[in-house]
Structure 1
């Protein structure tokens, strides 16, 4: 989307403004909890729990008590490496 940088913000159309917002918000780098892992992998929470327990993603997961934080990029790299 090419928008003249000199164009005033008030003159943007809704589509142009939404395009700017979409391009400026970075993709979320982390998922949280088993629900987030399941969403990321496209599976059920029970299957995500089995994958987490298997140890495949240990380098991508940080857990402190019940809080689970998953680095999405690292998890995908580990899964790709495991598949090979």
Structure 2
């Protein structure tokens, strides 16, 4: 159906096919702007608090606290009083680049 016909049609008269066509056009327009990445994980993820950080790192809360206190994640952490906000992607990259083996007492 023509776009002009869709604009002139009242919403209550639109069929399901008309709505799907409109939403597909919107989705295609967002992907073709040339600025955005096609990677769906390009949006930043943040967690708040030590418990959520521990869940992301798949470790216990005391281990997450030791990692945070060591200074490895300082670039990824914003802290105001007791509240911390962590940029997850940056924190995982920083941990990947550090050579410490967290949570292992003995090296083999």
TM-score scaled by length of structure 2? 0.52
Structure number with larger C-alpha Rg:
2
Match of 1:70 in 2: 86
How many residues were matched structurally?
Answer: 65
Quote how far apart the aligned CAs of 1:80 are: 1.0
Quote how far apart the aligned CAs of 1:36 are: 1.0
- Within a 5 Å distance, the mapping from 1:1-84 to structure 2 comes to 6=17, 8=19, 29-83=45-99
Structure 1 residue ranges, 4+ long, deviating more than 6 angstroms after superposition: none
SS in 2 for 1:43: coil
Unaligned runs of 5+ in 2: 1-15, 21-39, 101-108
TM-score scaled by length of structure 1? 0.66
Quote how far apart the aligned CAs of 1:6 are: 3.6
Mapped partners of 2:60, 2:79: distance in 1: 20
Unaligned runs of 5+ in 1: 10-23
